[in-house]
Structure 1
Amino acid sequence: MNLSMMSHDQAHAAPQPQDLQTPADRYQELFQAVQLQRVFPDSKTFVDCVPEEDPAQILAAYREQCTRPGFDLSGFVHANFAVPEVYASHYVSVAGQPMREHIDGLWDVLSRQPQQHPPRCSLLALPRNYVVPGGRFAELYYWDSYFTMMGLAESGRHDLLRAMADNFAYLIDTYGHIPNGNRTYYLSRSQPPVFALMVELFERHSICEAIGYLPQLCKEYAWWMDGADTLQPGTAHRHVVRLEDGTLLNRYWDARDTPREEAYLEDVVTARQTTRPAAEVYRDLRAAAASGWDFSSRWCDDGNLSSIRTTAILPVDLNSFLWKLEQQIALLSRKAGLTEQSRLFQRREHARREAVDRVLWDNADGVYRDYDWQRQRSRGMLNAAISTPLYVRMASKQQAGLTAEALRTRLLSAGGIETTSMLTSQQWDKPNGWAPLQWLAIGGLRHYGLEDLSEDIAHRWLCTVSSLYQRESKLVEKYVLESTPHGAVGGGGGEYPLQDGFGWTNGVTRRLLHERPAHAANHARAASA
């Protein structure tokens, strides 16, 4: 839906143009000093701070004062910036509250209003209210929101669903793509392209007709495929890679090759652990953030994060989502009477499916695998992304059956589907389990009639989430899937502490509870003390 297609009430709220400088661009050596000297324990804090006056004046004052004897950097920052607060306690339920009611009550807690955006901060303006994941994540996130939306629908919050639809359409119309999140420092990358799946969800719940989003779907597709038409065999450009035989597939990418601003010191430290060019490491770290799997052995050569090579990898899930986007554009173009465009995208979806079958399907082992296009070989490690072709219905019946067997025998744990088969200190690895990966497996298996395993995963995940809820009265970002004597525990690893809230856990769990009214998790209640 273009802004011109919005109602009068929606259109008048369209944000005004804003300064899109990132905090690193804006504050320059002040930014580096704050991040490298660890003024805040969490690197994300400073990039989310709100300047008390014009940023140029703050930078000028810093330059004038920083060389004075006894200059206090922390004092300067706190005098010139409002520090964001993280209200973790807001996500803890009242004693005895059923889990379903807890989730329904969280949507307003997790909602943000654009009119409350402070000026001159890193937030990108949006026309409508939106839902954030929670904890340190106080902005809209792209692929998180798809899974959150499923819970909004089951909670009857069509007001927020419609607002989110308008927001994502606005982002594509304004920036040409959906950024990782609505922050200036996220503009250089996107996340797994699930807008086509969102559009189906909007139509299924009578929020709006999918055909109204055809212009945005085409625009997002053009952004992901930039440079594909002139790409020579054996080369890559941004998100597209053409193999030596002419096959075209996609990878994750970020337009910048500097440390992530929200994890500046962490990235600098990682780059120092290798002899590789720092810019190359930074690009691969950023690309992994674009994947949503930040971080995982999936992108690395060994257990060390400095060996990360995300841009060398053609991922199963990304190419599945783009196949779905091509299929959706072909279908809606046909409905719109755009016959030639429909035929073009039918050819593209057929070509990608053939490429996925040939390059990303391991026929000998009966599983999908990511592919290292630089080394021209499949990646050996198994991960939960193998269910994505089933979720978008790209797999054949035989492939679905073999994938189900791999999920059951190699990734199924006591609490659900493990993220990867490798145990590491990274959060997107074993032993952690994540709500979106459970849902992709549950839904994908169901699409092919593999109900027994689908229901088994759903049961295990609901038991995991409800176990921790009954003990700690909250839902969290990720969970350890292995059994413990005290029940489920929150996941670990990664660059930051476990976050409470939590958007996509709420969304997936609420949908599963709705579909299974007789499941014991519907009777799970918050701890009495």
Structure 2
Amino acid sequence: MDNQFYIRDIYSIFEAVQKSQIFEDQKDMADAIPMYPIAEINNIYETEKDKEGFDLKEFVVKYFQFDQSESSILREETLPIEEHIEKLWDELTRTAYEEKGTLLKLPNPYIVPGGRFNEFFYWDSYFVMLGLQVSGRIEMMKNIIENCVYLIQKFGFVPNASRTYFLSRSQPPYFSLMLDLLAESTNDESVYSQYFETLEKEYKFWMDGAESLDNNKSYRRVIKTENGDILNRYFDDENNPRPESYMIDIEDEETSANPEFYRNVRAACESGWDFSSRWFADGNTIQTIDTLNLAQVDLNCLLWHLETTLAKTSNLQNFEEKHNYYSQKSEARKKSINKYFWSEIDKIYKDYNIKSQMQTSSESIATLYPLFLNLSDHEQAKAVSETIKEKFLKKGGLITTTKESGQQWDSPNAWAPYQWLGFVAMKNYGFKELKTEIKDNWCSNVERIYLNTGKLMEKYNAIDTTSIAGGGEYPNQDGFGWTNGVYIKLKTQ
């Protein structure tokens, strides 16, 4: 039986379940697995739904299987944290050799984040790979890359995660950085040439429409400024509620005046920052979410890295025309990053609003990207390092924004990816004391929570280090892929 489906295939049942809020987590129904052919389930539902005594929950439990992931990984004794993480690599390993419900097929095993996130996630996997490198699990690193290759070749991009309902968006493009990690781990630069076609295909996805744009216009993931410069933005091809957060979106949209509210929400999900005051026009409420009008500093830095990797790989293969093309693109992007994102007044990199033709007011940890990728000059890097120390570095690590909004990608939360980016950024420019402080503050926070709970969490409270973390649409998750990877990588530095 072919039991893969898209949400649209069971929409009547799905909508009824989500609106009745049968399950505490709306992701449960989005991840359900049909136990009979979809057409058959739909027919039975249409026949029975209006009958007296019909019980919707009873119906879905009868006709769908719910693969509940472990919400917590328990051990009889608290192992040393490094031993715990080594065991977690195996416990968080999954395979999907065939389609199953909304889960996409993948050719190789992979590591899931943990908790409610029981599928392959794109940008998470890069930070997982940092830990796999330390653990000597090179084969799993290759598996992750091969899964990305499979998805890019099949869909043209790596989806947010390996579910059919994520096929309208990607996540921060880390594939070229994954190749850097593998080349470093294997001392083999041939990986770039091996995956050149895949690098080009992902680049085309992000640049779709760039050649035909008029000034001060946007199309999908590209923006052309009034000066004719090309920048990129996060986007989503759909403008409807997210299946995994269906009722949350509907309720928020009812009090929003934005006709593209859903697409703005989804675009923020493509950034990985779901959600943050960084995206809100008023700096406070999700109803004013304005992601689509922003060119983001992190995305443009990552695409600069992709262009630079394409230029380097073209050179390795003696593709002179392509080498020149991608070199020109990366040089133009480097100038644009400095021109549109650098704030000389605030000494920080900020997102750029194409509508207002101004930088946003939000101060975010995404300012690390130009330093992480060696795009800043030393004066800029020094200024950013001072801002980081003054505004972002807290007792338990680096916070994501200077605003406390109740959203999980705002203060006081510290997320694993940015501890690594912060460490490398400061190392790149020789700020030794600050890089050590970033590492020690966050690692000690992780160790304290682990000692008290036996868990490695998705995110941590960097300010109140007596608590764990909070904010967001769902409870803090235990597992946790990128925390494990970044923690053991930092401990080797």
Fold shared per TM-score above 0.5: yes
Q: Which runs of 5+ in 1 are unaligned?
A: 1-17, 516-529
Quick one: which of 3, 6, 9 aligns to 1:26? 9
Which residue matches 2:101?
Answer: 121
Which residue matches 1:431?
Answer: 412
Quick one: which of 271, 279, 283 aligns to 2:253? 271
Q: CA deviation at 1:274?
A: 1.8
Which residue matches 1:295?
Answer: 275
1:45-56 equivalences in 2 (<5 Å): 45-56=28-39
Which residue matches 1:526?
Answer: none
Q: CA deviation at 1:151?
A: 0.4
Quick one: which of 268, 284, 288 aligns to 1:307? 288
Q: CA deviation at 1:443?
A: 0.9
Which residue matches 1:145?
Answer: 125
Change (3 A) 1:20 1:393: farther
Which residue matches 1:220?
Answer: 202
For residues 54-96 of structure 1, give each alpha carbon's deviation from its aligned partner in whole angstroms, at most 9, with x where no partner exists: 011111111111111221111111110011212123x234424
Which residue matches 1:495?
Answer: 473
Contact 2:3 2:34 in 1 (8 A): no
Q: CA deviation at 1:29?
A: 1.4
Quick one: which of 394, 403, 409 aligns to 2:375? 394
Quick one: which of 66, 72, 78 aligns to 1:83? 66
Q: CA deviation at 1:20?
A: 7.1
1:407-486 equivalences in 2 (<5 Å): 407-484=388-465
Q: Which runs of 5+ in 2 are unaligned?
A: none
1:320-331 equivalences in 2 (<5 Å): 320-331=301-312
Which residue matches 2:141?
Answer: 161
1:416 partner amino acid: G
1:384 matches 2:365:
yes
Q: CA deviation at 1:203?
A: 0.7
- The alignment partner of 2:186 has SS state of coil
Cα distance in 1 between the residues matched to 2:3 and 2:451: 46
For residues 463-494 of structure 1, give each alpha carbon's deviation from its aligned partner in whole angstroms, at most 9, with x where no partner exists: 1000101111110000001144xx4x321111
- The alignment partner of 2:205 has SS state of helix
Contact 2:3 2:33 in 1 (8 A): no
For residues 218-255 of structure 1, give each alpha carbon's deviation from its aligned partner in whole angstroms, at most 9, with x where no partner exists: 10000000000000001100000001111110000001
Q: CA deviation at 1:304?
A: 1.3
Moved more, 337-346 or 204-213: 204-213
Moved more, 427-436 or 207-216: 207-216
Alignment identity in percent? Answer: 39
Which residue matches 1:7?
Answer: none
Cα distance in 1 between the residues matched to 2:438 and 2:173: 25
1:495 partner amino acid: E
Cα distance in 1 between the residues matched to 2:277 and 2:243: 22
Show structure 1 runs of 4+ deviating over 3 A.
18-21
1:249-260 equivalences in 2 (<5 Å): 249-260=231-242
Contact 2:449 2:455 in 1 (8 A): yes
For residues 345-366 of structure 1, give each alpha carbon's deviation from its aligned partner in whole angstroms, at most 9, with x where no partner exists: 1100111111111111111222
1:509 matches 2:490:
no
Which residue matches 1:11?
Answer: none
Which residue matches 1:65?
Answer: 48
Cα distance in 2 between the residues matched to 1:357 and 1:84: 47
Cα distance in 2 between the residues matched to 1:135 and 1:422: 27
Cα distance in 2 between the residues matched to 1:459 and 1:479: 14
- Let me know the Cα RMSD of the aligned residues: 1.3
Which residue matches 1:43?
Answer: 26
Cα distance in 1 between the residues matched to 2:85 and 2:370: 29
Q: How many residues align?
A: 489
1:26 partner amino acid: D
Contact 2:257 2:287 in 1 (8 A): no
1:307 partner amino acid: T
Cα distance in 1 between the residues matched to 2:239 and 2:187: 39
- The alignment partner of 1:433 has SS state of strand
For residues 306-361 of structure 1, give each alpha carbon's deviation from its aligned partner in whole angstroms, at most 9, with x where no partner exists: 11111111111010000000000000110111011011011001111111111111
Q: State the TM-score, normalizing by the size of structure 2.
A: 0.97
Contact 1:100 1:513 in 2 (8 A): no
Contact 1:202 1:210 in 2 (8 A): no
Which residue matches 1:14?
Answer: none
- The alignment partner of 2:369 has SS state of helix
- The alignment partner of 1:114 has SS state of coil
Cα distance in 2 between the residues matched to 1:292 and 1:207: 30
Cα distance in 2 between the residues matched to 1:120 and 1:327: 38
Which residue matches 1:108?
Answer: 90
1:58 partner amino acid: I
For residues 436-466 of structure 1, give each alpha carbon's deviation from its aligned partner in whole angstroms, at most 9, with x where no partner exists: 0111111111111122111110010111000
Cα distance in 1 between the residues matched to 2:288 and 2:464: 31
- The alignment partner of 2:197 has SS state of helix
